[in-house]
Amino acid sequence: MPIEFKRNRAVFHDVVGVEEAEGLLEWLQSKPAAKIDLAPCRHLHTANLQVLMASSPAVSAWPENPELRAWLEAALKPRS
């Protein structure tokens, strides 16, 4: 599974495709306090990014890939 849903934490693995977006949305709706672990993620499809941006969940770990991390931090970190 590209997204591993744990009790209160979703771990993004490797490349997360467009088909995961719907499941992710449902899961986030049911767990508003959930945390997101992006560390093992190398790429995620735009649809997933959009879901994350709409829900702005707490991110427990940013991607190890620095370039993806820059993208996601810019998009997901609350604007100061």
Q: Using CB under 8 A, list all residues that contact another protein.
A: 18, 21-22, 25, 28-29, 43-47, 49-51, 53-55, 67-68, 71, 74-75
Neighbours of 56 (CB within 10 A): 12
Q: Which is nearer to another protein, 49 or 59 (CB)?
A: 49
Q: Taking the complex as a whole, how short is the minimal distance between the CB of residue 40 and another protein, in angstroms? A: 17
Which of residues 1 and 67 has its CB atom nearest to another protein in the complex? 67
- What letter would DSSP give residue 56? -
Give Cα separations from 80 to 25, 39, 40, 74, 77 (angstroms): 26, 24, 27, 11, 9
Closest distance between another protein and the C-beta of residue 42, in Å? 11
